[in-house]
Amino acid sequence: MEVVSQSMGALRSTFKIINFSLVNDVLQLYNTFCIKLDDIIWKPPDASVRNRATKSKSKRR
């Protein structure tokens, strides 16, 4: 939902209302999608091994 307020004719501000109850669901969907997308995209064999090793290290930080 988007609420737009207009003041003094030329100035226009946009306010977005975020439903925080859906944020966790969206993040879970995004993470699942990215994991599956990484498996679909073709990469040279050595690049995919490095990518998986890098992912596990970055998650530990």
pLDDT digits (tens, 9 = 90+) for 2-14: 444 444 444 556 7
State residue 52's pLDDT score: 55
Which amino acid, residue 19? N
Tokens 């890098």 belong to: 54
Residue range 22-40, pLDDT digits in tens: 888 888 888 887 777 766 7
How long, in residues, is the chain?
61
Distance of CA 2 to the CA centre of its chain: 20
Q: Report whether pLDDT(50) > 70.
A: no
Contact 7, 13 (CB under 8 A): yes
